[in-house]
């Protein structure tokens, strides 16, 4: 198997499990082509978040989530440096 394929993540629908994409990094809303479920995916730097797309509406949920993700990423990089 090639390294490229091993390193990719499969993004799957949280409702029916259909694989929607294989990627290293993503920050997008996806509508499942099988069951129609609308969900949000963020992946990158060792952090993955999947939630209902409707939770990203109103206020600044996306900005808040990205701030949370950046905090997680900094924790991960600190953890890696310590070992
Ligand atoms: Zn689905």
Average pLDDT over residues 34-51: 93
Distance (Å) from CA 23 to ligand 1 centroid = 18
Query: d(Cα 3, Cα 48) in Å, to the nearest integer?
Result: 20
Token output for 40 = 């949000």
pLDDT attached to residue 79: 75
DSSP-derived secondary structure letter, 67: H
The residues near 24 (Cβ < 8 Å, ≥ 6 apart) are 7, 8, 9, 43, 44
Ligand 1 centroid to residue 30 C-alpha, Å:
10
What pLDDT is attached to residue 2? 46
Full-model pTM: 0.80
Residue 29 CA to ligand 1 center (angstroms) comes to 13
| Contact by Cβ (8 Å): 23, 41 | no
pLDDT band per the 50, 70, 90 thresholds, residue 5: low
Domain assignments of the chain as residue spans, ordered by start: 3-82
């Amino acid at each position: 198997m090639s390294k490229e394929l091993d390193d990719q993540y499969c993004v799957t629908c949280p409702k029916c499990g259909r694989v929607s994409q294989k990627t290293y990094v993503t920050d997008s809303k996806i509508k499942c082509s099988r069951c129609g479920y609308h969900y949000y995916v963020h992946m990158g730097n060792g952090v993955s978040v999947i939630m209902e797309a409707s939770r990203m509406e109103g206020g600044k949920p996306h900005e808040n989530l990205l701030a949370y993700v950046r905090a997680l990423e900094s924790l991960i990089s600190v953890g890696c440096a310590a070992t």
